[in-house]
Structure 1
Amino acid sequence: MVEGYSVAVRTLCEFTAKAGDLDLRFTPSPSALEGMAGHAVVASRRSADYEREIALSEEVGQLRVRGRADGYDPGRNQLEEVKTFRGDLERMPANHRALHWAQAKVYGALLCRERKLSEIRLALVYFDVVTQREHLLSELHEADSLEVFFLDQCQRFLAWAGQEREHRQARDEALGELRFPYPTFRSGQRVLAETVYKAASTGRCLMAQAPTGIGKTLGTLFPLLKAMPGQGLDRVFFLAAKTPGRQLALQGLSTLTAPQPDQTGVPLRVLELTARDKACEHPDKACHGDSCPLASGFYDRLPEARQAAIECGTLDRTELRDVALAHGICPYYLGQEMARWSDVVIGDYHYYFDVHAMLYALTVANQWRVGVLVDEAHNLVERARGMYTAQLDQAAVKAVSREAPSALNKALTRVDRQWRVLNGEQAGQDADATPSRDNGYRVLAEPPTKLLTALQQAVAAITDYLAEQPDGLDGALQTFYFEAMQLCRIAETFGSHSLCDLSLRSGRRGSRLSTLCLRNVVPAGFLAPRFEASHSSVLFSATFSPELYYRDLLGLPAQSVWMETPSPFSSEQVTLKIIDHVSTRYADRATSLEPITELIARQYTALPGNYLVFLSSFEYLDQVAERFQARYPEIPCWQQARRMDEAARQGFLERFTAQGQGIGFAVLGGAFGEGIDLPGDRLIGAFIATLGLPQLNPVNEQFRQRLAAQFGAGYEYAYLYPGLQKVIQAAGRVIRTEQDRGVITLIDDRFAQPRIRRLLPGWWSAVPSSR
């Protein structure tokens, strides 16, 4: 039984003291490192008996309020709330200042209670990270008045807290009685579910390789929900790489929580987080009350909208939008608010793993116990690398310099000058090398200090300019500003996990331009704190081996457990063909077109139906598809196009009907290589005309070298494992159920190599290869 409700001081005050408009006009703010440094500077200026980070807590009825006050000077009897900022303090919105005072007053009340103080001086210390100056606002308060204020905030929150406590109790009781929604588990699904439950019960991380088609989504959600009451879990985060994964999670939760013949439904709050650009109702307007009607009075209307939202149970994208618009507020930011009050949150990887990850930040700030499910976890390596990579093009500097306000000319000119010096230094290292001969690619031992210093100064100059004229940036300058800021921040973390490179190219009139990139090679160091913050994490995929590859690159805890679920499928279900007389290497593609065309035609003639053909690139796809359609115009064909939107992708999939016949051409590793379900006769075969290896280029070669240096497996980690992962995922589209039958044709002589065969799914090994 849930005995009380615990809330952080910040959360309490944000709930009770926020009012007025949503105002997201860009105002420059310190980075996290600048904020921590600012707090340290303020503390260093205080007396020797100054107390820092004072842990405080108090119970009011069944509400426990907890937090850490920034500092207390016992000699002056002054409690300080420190806030770092940039720019003009007078421009700070009034509701922000009100929130800061509310936090200070609550901390003051807690300290007075703890130390039996009759009065205390409260101070808001605003520290300018640029000038290093402090702006202090202070007020003397009697303990009795602070007590009244504190109790008022608690009373305003207690009704909500009581509702939350009752919901938690009802939720946990229902989850304790939760039964699997079907009479039996699929083959392999029970083993997966039992192992997930054990991992949650022991607070460990689980790496689960389970074949496509056994119901991994339900097989992981069910046991983790079942474990929530016993483990005291506050939230479950289901993180997916793509939209289909999120949809499967919503469907699975709907099935799990639906009423049973002898049971009522489970009162589970489910939230789907949607990207801002997809949720925005007024993309032509700015996010503040003077521009967008859904931002005006946002916090005034939020309480009723929040109450309506929790009564919905499941807030998918459509339901969340309906609730928000019914109350005249922004759907996207209602979703951000509801992440605090939902039991299961479904969203993209970046909500927990990115440098600015909202769910991770909430977990740490609120000390939540969370269970994390990572769907199709093989994608996390590349996605995480992207999260901790930054680049900037010199052409952007030149473009914004021409249109920038005069106040920024000096700083931008300095950046351009340092960039030209860097280009000259790199080009001069090899007088004979030209961009046309060496592709202009240079690897730098470390980030260029002088250029980065100039960029930091430019960021500071733009920040100062924004402080005076917050609406003064055009789109290009704002983009440059954010990209430069990101590059500078990533540079602060540069190390053996990173690669710094410069790509030179010819500009106008013989000049040189370049792109500077700080690439993440091994994201383990960034992801490890995310896994440590969770009570239990379960990463699952049909292609999650070799185990050591993922352990090394993802930073998983040392005690993580790896398991492989036996496949429910048998060798009798699939005809495996390995075509070892055709090479799909880049140099051999021209000669491969004819044999690939004939292979597809022969198979289709022998067994008409729906097939997918996977190629390594759009260029290769176009060549094979054109040759095939010219030779066999009577066979229906359709192909994946570059930059297809969701409607176009859906149209592609709708061509695969149970009674249909034809050939769909797609790119390996693209939208149709994983995460799609075409059971039965909707798809009876796949041709994979590539080993899937990443392109051989200077960047990937640098990845190979660095991975070899760190792990002794450069080729495998940079090329082989990522490539075969895509092949197995694509082939997994064919056999989706234990009733399916199909043909998998692997076209490349390298598939016949023993070391490649050993990396293919175990249940394929019993299939005699036909050539």
Structure 2
Amino acid sequence: MSAAYRVAVRALCDFTAREGDLDHRFTPAPSAREGVEGHTLVASRRGEDYLAELPLSGSFEGLTVTGRADGYDPTANRLEEVKTHRGSLERMADNQRALHWAQLKVYGALLCAERGLEHVTLTLVYLDIASGKETLLNQDASASELESFFIAQCRRFLAWAQQEAEHRQRRDDSLQALSFPHAAFRPGQRELAEDVYKAASTGRCLLAQAPTGIGKTLATLFPMLSAMPRQQIDRVAFLTMKTPGRRLALDALATLGSAHGNEGKMPLRVLELVARDKACEYPGRACHGEACPLAAGFYDRLPAARQAAVEQAWLDREGLREVAAAHEVCPYYLGQELARWADVIVGDVNHWFDSHALLHGLAQANDWRAAVLVDEAHNLVERARGMYSAELDQQRLNRLRRTAPKALSRPLNRMARQWQTVIKEAGLDEMGLEKTDENGKPGYRLLEALPDKLVTAVQQVGATITDHLGEHPEDASLELQELLFEALAFCRLAEHFGSHSLCDLTRQGRGRAVLGLRNLIPADFLVPRFKAAHSVVLFSATLTPAHYYRNLLGLPENTVWREVASPFAARQLEVQIRRDISTRFRDRGASVEPIVAAMVQQYQRSPGHYLAFFSSFAYLEAVLARFRQAHPGVPVFSQTRGMTEAERETFLARFTPGGQGIGFAVLGGAFAEGIDLPGDRLIGAFIATLGLPPFNDFNEALKSRLTERFGQGDDYTYRIPGMIKVVQAAGRVIRGPKDEGVVVLMDDRFAQANVRALLPGWWAVEKRERSRRQLS
């Protein structure tokens, strides 16, 4: 090889030793924690001379292979590879067993070469997690035959390794010469690009607040790609909250490529990760060769598909689908494979921050130096809370008890009894209507501690179902699997329960209660994710105040916060505060008339397209009904509950250039952020709410926890999240350097100093107050 290349033993064998069908039928497997504990258990049973996690490495023709063997007993000259499992070993696929032997043989070759051994005993140790029983499969091997096997695997990989090393060199050479694709930067764009480059160069995290309209996507991708060769960054992940963000990133990458010369083809592999349900070509079929033609022989056809994919390089959803179709393989799992070999991966934030994140796992396994860009990062607090929360649904348990195999009856019944005990001790009546919140949701209780007996029963159910399906995979109904997944996720989080989370119970009618583990402070889970990246850049138009994100996300202490000055002038946006209106819950009935009057006054003063935002659909519908009654000549249209994607597109299509009308929407919903209506497609916004979360038991408990930890419970629970939504909604109005418009903030609290401090600094806010006589 002209350039050195390193590969892990697992990655080498994954590449060379897999064959046959893709098989993702449900088979109960140990969790990562159980796997670690299993390896520790095996090591504890061995002698004092036993060497666990033995580092080994070796080279062949410029290819360096590294890894850690699970264990070696020098006295017995026995090398072990430990695999944990559940259920019968006989159900393990042959190609899986072949992969295990291949790994062990490679480790054997490395061991013999390093220690000058003439032979070694190879032992596959299969540990049944449930019983603790070990099954040992032994094979004596000479150093020469192991060396031959090692060389054969390396030769199978060498052509690919050579190609990868050459690609890396071409990629880095190209990125060294990368230039900005436009004649000039937009105002503020250069400053953001410089800050991103500095973060990549110093290996730090950056919080960048930058206004809409300066081209943040290009201003983050361009400097990060420029830093790749200089900082030896292996992968860049551009992560988004919603699908439109992925499209913006792909468009920016295409722009960079088209401006790069070489017939517009930059030697950069770009992969879009798409959710499994959206990528599947045969929805409703199981992922194995007997059910899906794209799973049959998947690994036999994968090498050709993989080669074609990396040659194509541009692998957005359609590009990947085309390659998969040409080679008759599953596009989703082809994408999962190509995540190992792409340079830039565009996908959802869960791919790095979730507990089972694909990209984070690959970075750890392959020792990548990864850089992460997070778009619309103001959403990461809530998204991460969801990633580290879990629920148990009593209704699912009750349904399953009627259909589950008899062998599962006892643990399921025990769990049902514990459910009833928890409900009774929580003081909820039979129908769960004893207490409601302001939205009429019934039977809510915060629990002071985890219901330990119920959690124990859930653990037993999870273990019993797992063991049963290990022996009887034919019983793996969808309902049974869903309960198992719920149980495992709940128990996994219960093991780490602490001040960062709370437990609650919601009764929703007879036989229906939901037990929730709700994460409040994602920082406790995210700290390792930030440490695992070389650099993370979080950017959005609303990242104020910085301490809110630093504290709740667990950002490193040396994280840099930057605010890019707005390119917009105060004269472009008229901001009014209507201090004569209160949108507090108790005042909402009385607020309808003055809100309608304020809206029609502004509309008549300057006709055009407006958006009006409200705190709930009920509030929206009340104002909309009165508006239509009082002003039938003004065109109005409304967001509705559960709109389909096509209905949302129809709503946005109403905002035509030069048109007129008012669109009613819910603050924090689909039309409050992430939409672009430039020019006179939108000339104003009415915001009839501070966006504050409801005052209820949950949010008061959240406030208490955040006060204990950070001393700012009220701000962190109510004021800051609400104002983030307000500023995002208002940001729909001014989208370009020539746009002009108006934002009317309808609530007296907008005039309070602590609220005004959370509004963008470039706004020139005008306070307006009308007399009661004017409103009549």
What TM-score, normalized to structure 2? 0.96
Quote the residue 2:118 is aligned against.
Answer: 118
How far is 1:599 from its partner?
1.7
User: Using the alignment, how far apart are the partners of 1:437 and 1:458 within structure 2?
Assistant: 31
- CA distance in structure 1 between the partners assigned to 2:264 and 2:671 by the alignment: 38
Counterpart in the other structure of 1:756: 755
1:252 aligns with 2:255: no
Could you tell me which residue of structure 1 aligns to residue 548 of structure 2? 549
Q: Deviations over 1:354-389 (max 9, x none)?
A: 011010000000000010001111100000000000
Question: What is the CA–CA distance in structure 2 between the aligned matches of 1:570 and 1:246, rounded to whole Å?
Answer: 30
Structure 2 gaps, min length 5: 770-776
Give a deviation string over 1:669-718, Cα, whole Å, max 9, x none.
Answer: 11111111111111111111110011112111111111111111111001
CA distance in 1, matches of 2:577, 2:303: 62
Aligned residue type for 1:4: A
Q: Helix, strand or coil: the match of 1:471?
A: helix
Please tell me whether the aligned partners of residues 584 and 747 of structure 1 are also in contact (alpha carbons under 8 angstroms): yes
487, 492, 495: which one aligns with 1:492: 495
Deviations 1:388-435 (A, max 9, x none): 00111222211211111111111100101122222222329x99x972
The reply on whether 1:467 has 2:470 as its aligned counterpart is: yes
Q: 2:624 and 2:433 mapped to 1: Cα distance? A: 37
**Secondary structure in structure 1 of the residue aligned to 2:145:** helix
Query: What's the secondary structure of 1:379's corresponding residue?
Result: helix
DSSP-derived class of the 2:289 partner: coil
| 1:479 aligned residue (472, 477, 482) | 482
8 Å contact from structure 1 (residues 527, 554) kept in 2 = yes
Q: Which residue of 2 aligns with 1:626?
A: 625
Match of 1:294 in 2: 294
CA distance in 1, matches of 2:449, 2:6: 46
Counterpart-to-counterpart distance in 2, 1:59 and 1:235: 24
Distance change (3 Å), C-alpha of 1:290 and 1:31:
same
In 1, distance between residues paired with 2:321 and 2:733? 36
Which residue identity lines up with residue 553 of structure 2 in the other structure? Answer: L
* Residues 31-71 of structure 1, C-alpha deviations (whole Å, 9 max, x = no match): 11111110000000000000011111122222111111111
Report how far residue 767 of structure 1 moved. Answer: 4.2
Change (3 A) 1:73 1:441: same
Aligned counterpart, 2:773:
none
CA contact (8 A) 1:574 1:767 kept: no
Give 1:515 shift. 2.0
Listed one character per residue, the Cα deviations across residues 310-365 of structure 1 (whole Å, up to 9, x for unaligned) are 12221111111111111111111111011011000011011110011010000000
Q: 1:215 to 1:437 in 2, by over 3 A?
A: closer
Deviation at 1:558, TM superposition (A): 1.2
Counterparts of residues 351-362 of structure 1 (less than 5 Å)? 351-362=351-362
Deviation at 1:465, TM superposition (A): 1.6
Specify the SS of the correspondent of 2:155.
helix
CA contact (8 A) 1:704 1:714 kept: yes
What do residues 97-116 of structure 1 show as CA deviations (whole Å, max 9, x unaligned)? 01101110111111111111
**2:170 counterpart letter in structure 1:** A
CA distance in 2, matches of 1:21, 1:629: 61
What amino acid is the match of 2:626?
R
Contact 1:2 1:169 in 2 (8 A): no
Residue 734 of structure 1: aligned partner: 733
Q: How does 1:76-475 map to 2 (within 5 A)?
A: 76-260=76-260, 265-427=265-427, 435-436=434-435, 439-475=442-478
Q: Residue in 1 aligned with 2:772?
A: none
**Contact 2:751–2:767 (8 Å) recurs in 1:** no
* Aligned position for 1:532: 531
Letter of the 1:17 partner, please give it. A
Work out the number of aligned pairs and report it.
764
Tell me, in whole angstroms, the C-alpha distance in 2 between the residues paired with 1:542 and 1:590: 33
1:596-649 superposed Cα distances (whole Å, 9 cap, x missing partner): 122222222221111111111122222222222233233222221222232222
Distance 1:686 1:437, change over 3 A: closer
Q: Give 1:614's aligned amino acid.
A: F
Indicate the SS of the match to 2:392: strand
**Aligned CA distance change for structure 1 residues 532 and 136 (closer, same or farther; 3 Å):** same
SS in 1 for 2:686: strand
CA displacement at 1:79 relative to structure 2: 0.7
Contact 1:618 1:667 in 2 (8 A): yes
Structure 2 CA distance, aligned partners of 1:506 and 1:388?
A: 27
Q: Name the CA distance, whole Å, in 2 between partners of 1:622 and 1:205.
A: 43
Is 1:517 matched up with 2:516? yes
SS in 2 for 1:644: coil
Counterpart residue type for residue 182 of structure 1: H
SS of equivalent to 1:7: strand
Residue of structure 1 in register with 2:658 after alignment: 659
CA distance in 2, matches of 1:3, 1:562: 39
Closer, same or farther: CA 506–290 of 1 in aligned 2, 3 Å: closer
Contact 1:435 1:506 in 2 (8 A): no
Shift of 1:296: 0.7
Structure 1 pair 503/2, CA: closer, same or farther in 2 (3 Å)?
A: farther
Contact 1:576 1:770 in 2 (8 A): no
Residue by residue over 1:236-276, the C-alpha shift from the partner in whole angstroms, topping out at 9 and shown as x without a partner, is 00010011111110011011111446885321110111111
How far has the Cα of 1:506 moved from its partner?
A: 5.1
Report which stretch shifted further, 457-466 or 37-46.
457-466
Q: How far 1:228 sits from its partner (Å)?
A: 0.2
Q: Secondary structure at the match of 1:303?
A: helix
Paired with 1:281 and 1:625, the residues of 2 have a C-alpha distance of: 43
CA distance in 2 between counterparts of 1:222 and 1:449 reads: 51
Aligned residues of 2:572 and 2:739 also touching (Cα < 8 A): yes
Once residues 120 and 607 of structure 1 are traced to their aligned partners in structure 2, the CA distance between those partners, rounded to angstroms, is 86
- Between the aligned partners of 2:620 and 2:312, the Cα distance in structure 1 is 46
Q: Which amino acid aligns with 1:760?
A: L
Deviations 1:523-580 (CA, angstroms, capped at 9, x unpaired): 1011111110100110111110111111111011111111111111110101111111
Greater alpha carbon shift after TM alignment, 3-12 vs 104-113? 3-12
Cα distance, 1:332–1:264 mapped onto 2, change above 3 Å: closer
Structure 1 gap ranges (5+): none
Give 1:770 shift. Answer: 4.4
Map 1:28-67 onto structure 2 (within 5 A). Answer: 28-67=28-67
Q: Given that residues 294 and 328 in structure 1 are in contact (C-alpha distance below 8 angstroms), is that contact kept between their aligned partners in structure 2?
A: yes
For 2:282 and 2:266, how far apart are their aligned partners in 1?
Answer: 36
Cα deviation, residue 757, structure 1: 0.8
Kindly report the root-mean-square deviation, in angstroms, between the aligned alpha carbons of the 2 structures.
Answer: 1.7
Moved more, 675-684 or 227-236: 675-684
Q: Which moved more, 1:307-316 or 1:77-86?
A: 307-316
Shift of 1:505: 5.4
Structure 1 equivalent of residue 719 of structure 2:
720
Counterpart residue type for residue 646 of structure 1: E
Q: SS of the residue aligned with 1:311?
A: helix
Separation (CA, whole Å) in 2 of partners of 1:540 and 1:760: 17
| C-alpha contact (below 8 Å) 1:2/1:168 kept by paired residues | no
Deviations 1:192-236 (CA, angstroms, capped at 9, x unpaired): 100110110011111111111111111110000000001000000
Aligned: 1:588 with 2:562 = no
Answer whether contact 1:172 1:229 (CA < 8 A) is retained: yes
- What is the aligned-residue identity percentage? 60
Query: How far is 1:475 from its partner?
Result: 2.4
- Aligned-partner Cα distance in 2 for 1:307–1:437: 59
Q: 1:536 to 1:2 in 2, by over 3 A?
A: farther
Residues 689 and 747 of structure 2 are in contact (CA less than 8 Å); yes or no, is this contact kept in structure 1?
yes
Query: Which residue in 2 is equivalent to 1:680?
Result: 679
Instruction: Give the Cα–Cα distance (whole angstroms) in 2 for the partners of residues 619 and 122 of structure 1.
Output: 69
